[in-house]
Structure 1
Amino acid sequence: MMGNVDLENWQKKSADHQKQYRQLLQKADKTRVYRQLPDLHEEAFSKVDCLSCANCCKNYSPRFKTPDIKRISKQLRMKESVFIDTYLRLDEDGDYVVKSSPCPFLGADNYCSIYEDRPSDCHRFPYTDEDVLLKRPAITLKNATFCPAVYYVLEKLMKF
């Protein structure tokens, strides 16, 4: 893989590069990008420590789908309705999301108290090893503003 990506001041650089990212996501050779994603994803996470960041858990919410709610409420030994009333609200898209930020399951040490049972959105985030990266460019662009791993992958893709 060519070129290094400097994570210093990445948030400012990501904001400055949103237009280039949008163009990249629109014009990218999908086959070529998809072939590179597994390695880029792994490389990004060898340089980014989620536990020192946790921006995703501090500022945004995953969708809690029915299987997630069933699994987590069972693990917490709560009725599903009580779990929903305690932690969740319906957003404008009709999805269940956490009522408050940061996520109520995020500890002061940035560890997740329900990590083994976390929602599939959390498990899959930030989608840097999935076709979501290109198929949902609005999400990718937003994620690049708060996740250094997404910034890293997009910067690497721009160097090809």
Structure 2
Amino acid sequence: MDLESYREQAIKKQKEHKKLLDGLKKKPPKNLDYIVQKTHDDVFGDINCLQCANCCKTTGPLYTEKDIERIAKHLKMKAADFEAKFLRTDEDNDKVLQNLPCYFLNDDNTCSIYEVRPKACREYPHTDRKKIYQINNLMIKNTLICPAAFEFVERIKKNLIK
């Protein structure tokens, strides 16, 4: 998977993608949630995250208190020890990873805590949510990181024209 090629295309198409997504916000089609789910399923039928894992290598998820408790328990650690070892508080006062790539990313791009991974990881790249237009700015950012997010926006465009 050529991540640089995807990123270059995403940069070139940012204005076009923003216009498309903003149009969905102004006048969403009645069946938008259906189109979004179908497009998401099609994209992830074609793209295997394990060939990429760019999100795990370049961006850190936000860790909620529930995430911290769940993962610490899984690792047989105290929540405070887990936080001290792996997390820091960022400028927005969110708990995020101290370092990237993610400590839990294995050499084969699998996740060593997949069953208990943070909510943010489970939902990424947010291409299967209802009222997708509520996260336009996030979706544009994700197209720069995630080939599936880029492909999703490209296919949404085609699926709305049909």
By the TM > 0.5 criterion, same fold? yes
**1:10 aligned residue:** 6
Letter in 2 for 1:22: K
Q: Is the 8 A contact 2:36 2:156 kept in 1?
A: no
Output aligned runs, 1:21-60, within 5 Å.
21-28=17-24, 29-30=27-28, 31-60=30-59
Greater Cα offset, 32-41 or 89-98: 32-41
- Cα deviation, residue 132, structure 1: 6.4
**Once the two structures are aligned, what percentage of the paired residues are identical?**
37
**2:145 aligned residue:** 146
- Cα deviation, residue 57, structure 1: 0.3
**For each residue in 1:68-100, what CA deviation from the matched residue of structure 2 results, as whole angstroms up to 9, or x when unmatched?**
000000000111111000000111111111110
**For each residue in 1:105-149, what CA deviation from the matched residue of structure 2 results, as whole angstroms up to 9, or x when unmatched?**
001110100000000110111110113632121111110011111
- Partner secondary structure for residue 102 of structure 2: coil
**For each residue in 1:29-83, what CA deviation from the matched residue of structure 2 results, as whole angstroms up to 9, or x when unmatched?**
4344322011100100011110010000000011110110000000001111110
What is the distance in 1 between the residues matched to 2:61 and 2:83? 14
Greater Cα offset, 131-140 or 149-158: 131-140
Q: Is the 8 A contact 1:62 1:119 kept in 2?
A: yes
Output aligned runs, 1:74-93, within 5 Å.
74-93=73-92
Tell whether 2:108 aligns with 1:109.
yes
**2:62 aligned residue:** 63
What is the distance in 1 between the residues matched to 2:116 and 2:60? 15
Q: Which runs of 5+ in 1 are unaligned?
A: 1-6
Give the CA RMSD over aligned residues.
1.6
Letter in 1 for 2:155: K
Letter in 2 for 1:144: T
What is the distance in 2 between the residues matched to 1:121 and 1:131? 16
Tell whether 2:92 aligns with 1:96.
no
Equivalenced residues, count: 154
